[in-house]
Amino acid sequence: MAIADHDSTGQTIARPTAVIATGGTIAMVTDPASGRRLPRLGGVELAASVQGLEAPLEHLQPYTIASEDVTFEHWLTLVREIARLAGDHHGIVVMHGTDTMEEAAHFINECVPGASVALCGAMQPPGTLGYDGGRNLRDAVTVARDPVASTLGTVVVMNHEVLPAWDVVKGDSVALSAFATRHGTRIATVHDGHLRLLSRPLCFNWLGAIPPHAPDPDAVAYVRLTASPSRERFLGSVADADGVVVDALGAGSVPAAIRDDLLAIGRKVPTVLTTRTGSGPVQAEDSYPHAWDDMLAAGIILEKRLDGPRARLRLALSLALGRPYEPFEPRLR
């Protein structure tokens, strides 16, 4: 559906959609010198190659990287650009590498939850059989320009699906259908230039602020637990951290070998417990009554919604903003 404004004479004008290119597989071509695929294509080149992409676009390219090389400084630059552009454009599309797309989407929504942002990328590079970047870009522009976009916040648009920033995960390393949600809820699908809503997006207690400086990547220790953990290595990984996120087993189980150490850490610095499982909350009180009493008494935060990487982002942003960590919870509109 077209969206238009009017100038001082009453003439209809169409505001552009901002397209921010950052690199990633969607922009990768073969480098003649090395033979490797590197992110070289710009947003203008990519958009020009997509059939049916007729919306007015304004292109920006703040940096060009493979997304495994992204830093908090990159994302801070990105959210500042989004905040600057949001009021004067009909939505914003961010082309991003898929390796860290789910974290990028969450970072954006934590900082600028009121902006209409659609992230897209590609699972296959240009020129290869099955290249999906063009259709994902076209679908993302469709989402960004739809009137309903202002109610969606930040979403990921891949393989014709619209997925929420807080819940989207890359569940396969190569499949075109790699992106899904931890809790199984798609917001919408996109086909033939039309957005089809499937569910009402949830509103959460987003931080809603851009920090004055990039979060310190060394501030938060992130530990994923396994069976038979090494106490020495666990203590080494959390030493001198300003905050800790632990991906626990099951519904938040912590092996006895390190439980007392975790309790001691929780009394000193903000400590968040998540689950390494693909879905579900921490703390199943009905099945295991009082199993988490000592953790709660130590001040450990039980995160029932976010996975470990997103909890790390939320804690790092909270520290950069000088705020305590609040569990991620739905907020009534």
Q: How far apart are CA 131 and CA 16, in angstroms?
A: 26
Catalytic residue list contains 30: no
Q: Where are the domains of the chain?
A: 5-197, 220-321
| CA torsion through residues 131, 135, 141, 146, sign | negative
Please write down the HEC assignment for all residues of the chain.
CCCCEECCCCCEECCCEEEEECECHHHEEECCCCCCEEECCCHHHHHHCCCCCCCCEEEECCCCECHHHCCHHHHHHHHHHHHHHHHHCCCEEEECCCCCHHHHHHHHHHHCCCCCEEEECCCCCCCCCCCCHHHHHHHHHHHHHCHHHHHCCEEEEECCEEEECCCEEECCCCCCCCEEECCCCCCEEEECCEEEECCCCCCECCCCCCCCCCCCCCCEEEEECCCCCCHHHHHHHHCCCCEEEEEEECCCECCHHHHHHHHHHHHHCCEEEEECCCCCCCCCCCCCCCCCHHHHHCCCEECCCCCHHHHHHHHHHHHHHCCCCCCCCECCC
Q: What would the pLDDT profile of 91-134 be if each residue is shown by its tens digit?
A: 999 999 999 999 999 999 999 999 999 999 999 999 899 899 99
pTM of model > 0.75: yes
Structure confidence by residue, pLDDT tens digits, 221-259: 999 999 999 999 999 999 999 999 999 999 999 999 999
Q: Domain 5-197 falls in which CATH fold?
A: Rossmann fold (3.40.50)
Domains 5-197 and 220-321 share a fold: yes
pLDDT (tens digit, 0 to 9) for every residue of the chain, 333 residues total? Answer: 334 454 445 554 689 999 999 999 999 999 899 999 999 899 999 999 898 888 899 999 999 999 999 999 999 999 999 999 999 999 999 999 999 999 999 999 999 999 999 999 999 999 899 899 999 999 999 999 999 998 999 999 999 999 999 999 999 999 999 999 998 789 999 998 999 999 988 999 999 999 999 999 999 999 999 999 999 999 999 999 999 999 999 999 999 999 999 999 999 999 999 999 988 889 878 888 999 999 999 999 999 999 999 999 999 999 999 999 999 999 865
Q: Which of 17, 22, 25, 100 is catalytic?
A: 25
Instruction: For residue 36, give both structure tokens.
Output: 């490797």
Q: Which CATH number fits domain 220-321: 3.40.50.40, 3.30.70.1230, 3.40.50.300, 3.40.50.720?
A: 3.40.50.40
What is the token pair recorded at 239? 């030493």
